[in-house]
Structure 1
């Protein structure tokens, strides 16, 4: 396989030493695990404050899922065309230029995954106090990150088993919570059928702003693209994993919000962050908070595992292309990119100790949206500029589905620029620093070749 077939045109890529070993089921589990964090358990209170309508809330989450699916179709086409790990680093390099790919890879490999890992770990520590009252949230957070990292270092086989088991347990607990809510929860006077005033809610500014935060809860639908090179028959299985994982999460998200509204009075939920705990107290009584805490903690373990798996693959792939980063491309006999995993572990621990992960998350949001926007735009560009490229999978609904995704993502970027201009500017600075580092690495590579 030539360099042009495996990735960046600037540096030679190389085959993974251990070959593909991840099944479509495990890849689907990674998508589900990466998507379901704490967002769905905390967002509803702020949505019902301005949209006190059961139908409108469920439609909001359904629309969010449909927009995520629009992204899935485009990423599926690119992943089948260019089956290599690392997500946007690979796609933007191929659709535009290796410098653009490096920009995305730089954000992802440094803090793009480490910051969400730290946030999820800190949430695990906070919820874990209900299960381990004597435990320090920071100690629990650091402990879970180290535990998951050790599993990742043991190799792809053990990572696959751990990911699949933890994700299945996560889904089983959520389904059990849903069943209990509908079976033993006291029904509230709320209707999920369309009502006379719903149209006004749907076309309102709160609905549009609510969609921004719903889309954050759906982020992670592209998770399997970061391990494409480790998948069996990625050209066929990657689109399937992305689609199946996103559909599963979409159904769970709509059902969870329905249960929250079905079991707890809307005036108790409005403006509250811990809507899942409030709902749990109405379903299970005094132990409801602990039940929800256990469910969220188990879910967060699988989320951290997914991000500690896929994040280092960006640095690994960059190491395959860039001589200065070669150390991160080294893999153990069991397929684990050890140095890349340890690097992400170190950054996540640093963010936890300095409590700076929330600030980092604020300023990388714009950069992540920017990269996703241009990745999907790349599908349109390649269809026009290189129509004869082999496309084992073609985006369903093209060009409508990519345009829908671009419209919503563009609105989210506009929202961040107007509501969080400083954080967005810092995100732009980080991307710019990536371009400067790329130029330095590229110059060194050229000097080495000339010598």
Structure 2
């Protein structure tokens, strides 16, 4: 094996990064925002299945783009190459400001809520701040340390979920809940609450494209990045369907409705008060894995942008181990600001609109790249093309349209559009040679 092939992280670790990015805040918090308007077990599972199909279709598209355009940076790199540096910059800007920092803040908020049920000696926000600082320091230690922590925390998290699912069905008689369809479910599935609830579900699936952000850290990226994205997405879809069915089986919908810590609520119904606290501690470990994965990815986008634009050059700085330390602490400062100033629901809605918009543009870019550069080497081609990208675009457009029609969601989504406007200003005050490269 060549020296080049030995460098970087393995397919297992790359898949762990994808899984850790996806399984985090959303699946342990979002069900409480869904059951109030969608009081049907079948409809809830359909909601999570639609999210999984959308994520898998997107994963197939990103696999081709990552193999054809192998460089770290994710959407920033893809859109810069396919459309124009301005489009790529805006995507990277969204990734930097909300795409990673906001999900880290959300995961940290959830961590604080769960951890405070075990140790109520300090406010949840305090525990959130402690965790983001600790994880950042782990990543300052280098890629090897981060990879070890990521593998351990991620696969423990997957094991935890499997144990939880088994316990929900073995240790409880369960509550009356229906997982078979009725005629009334058609109206629920085509309703506005279903589309708006899809925001929370797609946030839970966000991270299926994680490996595309660290192409430069992965061995044989043209082969392993598509595999990591596909394997991670399929694994998480199966776990999400089983986990949400277990939540609904273990605890009444009324007990789950409006609760952020739905995992703790369900665990108390399975294991009792003490067991619920133990399970909350294990969920905290899972959330730490998610925070770590996103902490790893965000600074890589900052690093790539800093290499390309002199106005952001300080962000390209790395230490002797190749860790973009400046980017890590810039990201940490944004996370801390969000933890101290914003609510969970506002941050989630704003970030999901922005994430979905960037992914939408990137999948459109798959069609454009095939048209503009049909002879470009493509070690991996999108499975199911053109059906898979069209299905992703259709589901994404449907969700974003409903977000803009719903007043509360629209107000939060406008924050994302405001960030785009600010990004445009920064781009156009940069040197002209960089703007047109």
TM-score under structure 2 length normalisation: 0.92
Write out per-residue CA displacement over residues 401-445 of structure 1, whole angstroms, 9 at most, x where no aligned residue.
111111111122212222233333332232122122112223375
Kindly report which structure 2 residues correspond to 1:32-51, keeping only aligned pairs within 5 A, or say none: 32-51=19-38
Question: Do structure 1's residue 69 and structure 2's residue 70 form an aligned pair?
Answer: no
Question: Do structure 1's residue 440 and structure 2's residue 419 form an aligned pair?
Answer: no
Count of aligned residue pairs for this structure pair: 432
Distance 1:64 1:340 in 2: 31
C-alpha contact (below 8 Å) 2:363/2:393 kept by paired residues:
yes
Shift of 1:258: 1.2
C-alpha contact (below 8 Å) 1:186/1:282 kept by paired residues:
no
Question: Do structure 1's residue 413 and structure 2's residue 404 form an aligned pair?
Answer: no
Question: Do structure 1's residue 145 and structure 2's residue 132 form an aligned pair?
Answer: yes
Aligned equivalent of 2:171, options 162, 184, 192 = 184
SS in 1 for 2:370: helix
C-alpha contact (below 8 Å) 1:277/1:288 kept by paired residues:
no
Greater shift, 260-269 or 301-310, is seen at 260-269
Aligned equivalent of 1:428, options 417, 421, 429 = 417
Shift of 1:358: 6.0
Greater shift, 171-180 or 372-381, is seen at 171-180
Aligned equivalent of 1:250, options 219, 237, 253 = 237
Question: Do structure 1's residue 175 and structure 2's residue 162 form an aligned pair?
Answer: yes
Greater shift, 340-349 or 193-202, is seen at 193-202
Cα 1:106–1:159 change in 2 (3 A) is: same
Kindly report which structure 2 residues correspond to 1:33-432, keeping only aligned pairs within 5 A, or say none: 33-195=20-182, 197-355=184-342, 359=346, 361-419=348-406, 420-432=409-421
C-alpha contact (below 8 Å) 1:174/1:295 kept by paired residues:
no
**What 5-or-longer segments of structure 2 have no aligned partner?**
none
Cα 1:111–1:357 change in 2 (3 A) is: farther
Distance 1:237 1:134 in 2: 45
**What 5-or-longer segments of structure 1 have no aligned partner?**
1-16
C-alpha contact (below 8 Å) 2:25/2:106 kept by paired residues:
no
SS in 1 for 2:151: helix
Q: Supply the RMSD in Å over aligned alpha carbons.
A: 2.5
C-alpha contact (below 8 Å) 2:18/2:209 kept by paired residues:
yes
C-alpha contact (below 8 Å) 2:195/2:399 kept by paired residues:
no
Shift of 1:383: 1.5
Shift of 1:19: 8.9
Greater shift, 421-430 or 267-276, is seen at 267-276
Shift of 1:353: 3.4
SS in 2 for 1:167: helix
C-alpha contact (below 8 Å) 1:221/1:246 kept by paired residues:
yes
Shift of 1:36: 1.5
Write out per-residue CA displacement over residues 119-168 of structure 1, whole angstroms, 9 at most, x where no aligned residue.
22122122111222323323221211111111111111111001111111
Write out per-residue CA displacement over residues 259-295 of structure 1, whole angstroms, 9 at most, x where no aligned residue.
1122223444445444323321221122243133213
Corresponding residue number in structure 2 for 1:4: none
C-alpha contact (below 8 Å) 1:18/1:335 kept by paired residues:
no
Write out per-residue CA displacement over residues 70-101 of structure 1, whole angstroms, 9 at most, x where no aligned residue.
10011111111111111110010011011110
Cα 1:295–1:91 change in 2 (3 A) is: same
Cα 1:380–1:128 change in 2 (3 A) is: same
Distance 1:378 1:76 in 2: 13
Cα 1:424–1:111 change in 2 (3 A) is: closer
SS in 2 for 1:441: coil
SS in 1 for 2:48: helix
Shift of 1:205: 4.0
